[in-house]
Amino acid sequence: MTLSCKRTLVAVSLALAVPLLATGAANAQAAPAAAAAAICTSSSHQALASRLSGDIAAALRSRSSIVAVTVLDHRTGVVCRLQDGRRFDSASVVKVTILGALLRKALEQHRYLTSAEVNLTTAMITRSDNNAASALWAQVGRSSLQHFLNLARMTQTVLGPGGYWGLTQITARDELTLLNLLMSINSVLDTPSRRYALGLMSRVVASQRWGVPAGTPAGVIVHVKNGWLPRPTYGWRIHSIGSFSGRGRDYMIVVLTQNNPTMAYGIRTIENVARVIHRDLNAGLPAAVGASVVSPSWGTPDERIPPLPRIP
């Protein structure tokens, strides 16, 4: 078996639990193709789904990152799932969940956000301010945070212990559910609340707009939130979640990663995936957002967490 084949099996075949028969080179070579074919599906755009499956698999080939991917495109009906039930330490992408829980709590209390809450949510999302996140995590409270998760049907998300919001356990499946909640009319968050959250995610500072925006065509609005956190096991957690609208587009991308030797490596892994997704979903529209330029801030953890027992 070639080195390329082994890498593909790790990134794709094992992730989707596609059985590999160790006896016979033909079976070993067929497994990656079968796994790739299963990543994306669509009842109305099967050729597009097949192309996306192959391109996502190719984008991950040779990368050492452990990766989970979900995609939902309302326009074409394409859905992609790769390791979508695998749990990761959330790092700062959980801040969108904190925001959602606050907005839901305010709705149930029949009130608007206070000026202090506006300031805190703006800092938490647009600059990924950790002090603001900690303040809102405490203010919203675990019971209201869990109440929001229940209403949103984010059944795979487990809140972090104590004040460690960055150790919340998330899955790509639940993060896609959250993005879809913000993008679609629903009974959990009203339209003004959804627009408020998406507005903040569209104003994230330039140095933090890496990840899933890479490859976005001109005229498409980007709503993004990223997270970055190293831990003793599985290296850097580098995550990027985003939704994309305008020019008739309405789709969402989630890429969660760990086992990255550096922050930059994880970002490159995510952007490799994001570029092929944008390209395939926007045929004929050239990319307006290129690969991220390395920032001096890369390599600085989004938050610092003392050594803790690993959460299974």
Is 168 part of any domain?
yes
- For residue 303, the model assigns a pLDDT of 67
Compute the 3-state secondary structure of the chain and give helix, strand, coil in percent, each to the nearest 5. Answer: 45, 20, 35
Domain count, the chain: 1
Does the residue 7 lie in any domain?
Answer: no
Q: pLDDT value at position 179?
A: 98
Q: Evaluate the CA torsion angle 216, 81, 174, 75 in order and state its sign.
A: positive
All residues at 6 or more sequence positions from 159 whose CB lies less than 8 Å from its CB, including other chains = 142, 145, 146, 149, 165, 168
pLDDT tens readout for residues 159-168: 999 999 999 9
CATH number, domain containing residue 276 = 3.40.710.10
Query: Residue 287 burial by CB count (10 A; 0-12/13-18/19+): exposed, middle or buried?
Result: middle
**pLDDT beneath 70: ranges in the chain:** 1-37, 303-312
- Rounded Cα distance between 104 and 225, Å, is 19
> Residue 296 domain-assigned?
no
Residues 291 and 210: their CA atoms lie apart, in Å, by 8
Is 271 contained in some domain? yes
- 229 inside domain: yes
Question: Whole-angstrom Cα distance, residue 41 to residue 289?
Answer: 26
Helix (H, G, I), strand (E, B) or coil at 249: strand
Consecutive H or E run containing 58? helix 46-60
Give the amino acid at 99: L
Residue 77 tokens read as 């009906």
Range of the domain at 179: 44-281
pLDDT of residue 159: 98
3-state secondary structure of 203: coil
The reported pLDDT for the residue numbered 216 is: 97
In a domain, 179, yes or no: yes
Asked whether residue 115 is domain-assigned, the answer is: yes
pLDDT at 298: 74
Domain presence at residue 11? no
DSSP string, 137-191: HHHH-HHHHHHHHHHHT-TT-BPPSTT-GGG-EE-HHHHHHHHHHHHS--SSS-H
